[in-house]
Structure 1
Amino acid sequence: MNRRQVRGSQRISKSHGKRSENKKILIVTEGVKTEPQYFEGLAAHLNAQAVHVISLKPVGTGRDPMSVVREADSQREKERRNGDAFDSVWCVVDVDEHATLPAACTLAAREKMGLAISSPCFEIWLLWHYEDRLAWSTGGALAQRLKKFGVLGKNLPANFPYDRFVDAKQRAEKCAVIELKHKPPNPSSSVSELVSELELASKGKSPQSR
């Protein structure tokens, strides 16, 4: 697939043109390492406790938000043409200094895709698995703080506490309200919405319509 990285500890199974009733979720991320690793690990954790298996296909693009949304649309259309459409599509991006974020938000809304945005970056969501952090932060400061918990570089440690995703969601709720999706406060993350959908899917429940 050229330079794209298609990852997933659980392959999307097809058999004679049919697949199981498990929810099939596409997650396209801006990052090519940390984010796909996180969602693979979280899916594995949820599946270990659930009756139904999540079909999860994270794709890391390594590009700006608009490129992420376009890639998600392309992947969704390709699977639809193959007769095994995704039940839900999510894009995971950072605020950083991306000029295309407002346009990406507009396109994602029009195409009925979920958009999980972290400010200043995805690392704030990771840190919330370990501790509170409500002060304005830079990506560099978050990376330094994560090192204290064994998160080095772009790779997550084998003992990353995926089971603390509930703590992360609660900490995200303490942040200022996101009034403008393309201008979320620092810190903030709507990754919690995606995680909630994964929880529902792992229990065999359908997500609410966007």
Structure 2
Amino acid sequence: MRPRRRETKPLKRVIEKRPELRTVVVFCEGKNSEPDYINGLKKLPEVAENTALNLELHPEQGVPLTLVQMAVERLEDPEVDECWCIFDVEWPKNHPNLFNARQLALAKGVNLVISNPCFELWLILHHREFAKFATTGEAESMSRKLDGRAGKSIDASAYMPLREQAARRAERLEQRHRQNGTTFPNDNPSSGMHHFLQALGQQKGTRRAAER
């Protein structure tokens, strides 16, 4: 008697569905250090696996209000989850329309990262504490001395391992200004970049306005 053949079930190919990435669009006024840093963040595995981080620059290095207006338009795209504008206060002469830019962002759901006096203050915090008032020129000069660069472009890979301690230092500056009652735009020195780093770890679909 021939043995009875067992029926075999057809093999099913198991296809893992990749989770949808959260789309975050970043607008910068600078064309060197800020984009270099954002592109460094994009390469981090913990960012790339859950966030599509897109960088958009104004062709003429737009001022803060222009960047926020661009972000408001970009938020109309249903594929975009969050928009962030990264810009400086600048000292001794502040950027024009800073308050208007901040109010528009809050009203329209655009997140802000403001560095005071400039983005280089955030770079300084990767290397050391910094708690005294500084002009833009002073912050830029110190930043170049600390990392040894000749121009405005940075080696983002050298900054990525230091970003957590920079965030802690920025948090301490923020707490000090809060305790002293120092408000924008007089909260020099300060940087809201630590809020942006924290937001990169949030779940998809949390669109909210951040005032930093």
Superposition TM-score, scaled by structure 2 size: 0.77
In structure 2, the residue matched to 1:55 is 52
- Paired AA for residue 141 in structure 2: Q
Q: What CA distance in whole angstroms lies between the structure 1 residues aligned with 2:85 and 2:170?
A: 18
In structure 1, the residue matched to 2:27 is 28
TM-fit CA distance, 1:30:
1.2
SS in 2 for 1:174: helix
In the alignment, is residue 137 of structure 1 matched against residue 131 of structure 2? no
Q: What CA distance in whole angstroms lies between the structure 2 residues aligned with 1:130 and 1:183?
A: 24
In structure 1, the residue matched to 2:88 is 94
Number of residue pairs aligned between Structure 1 and Structure 2: 182
SS in 2 for 1:118: strand
Q: What CA distance in whole angstroms lies between the structure 1 residues aligned with 2:184 and 2:115?
A: 10
Asked whether the equivalents of residues 105 and 182 of structure 1 are also in contact (C-alpha less than 8 Å), the reply is: no
SS in 1 for 2:154: coil
Cα separation, partners in 2 of 1:99 and 1:170, compared to 1, 3 Å? same
Q: Show CA shifts across 1:27-55 (max 9, x none).
A: 1111122211111102212xx24682420
Asked whether the equivalents of residues 22 and 51 of structure 2 are also in contact (C-alpha less than 8 Å), the reply is: yes
Q: What CA distance in whole angstroms lies between the structure 1 residues aligned with 2:177 and 2:102?
A: 17
Q: What CA distance in whole angstroms lies between the structure 2 residues aligned with 1:209 and 1:65?
A: 19
Asked whether the equivalents of residues 111 and 208 of structure 2 are also in contact (C-alpha less than 8 Å), the reply is: no
Asked whether the equivalents of residues 109 and 207 of structure 2 are also in contact (C-alpha less than 8 Å), the reply is: no
Equivalent residue in structure 1 for 2:196, among 178, 194, 197: 194
Q: Percent identity?
A: 28
Query: Which runs of no fewer than 5 residues in structure 2 stay unpaired?
Result: 1-17
Q: Larger Cα Rg: Structure 1 or Structure 2? A: 2
1:118-197 correspondence runs (5 A) = 118-148=115-145, 149-157=147-155, 159-175=157-173, 176-177=176-177, 182-197=184-199
- Paired AA for residue 94 in structure 1: D
SS in 2 for 1:177: helix
SS in 1 for 2:101: helix
Asked whether the equivalents of residues 32 and 59 of structure 1 are also in contact (C-alpha less than 8 Å), the reply is: no
Cα separation, partners in 2 of 1:20 and 1:73, compared to 1, 3 Å? farther
- Paired AA for residue 166 in structure 1: E
Query: Which runs of no fewer than 5 residues in structure 1 stay unpaired?
Result: 1-18
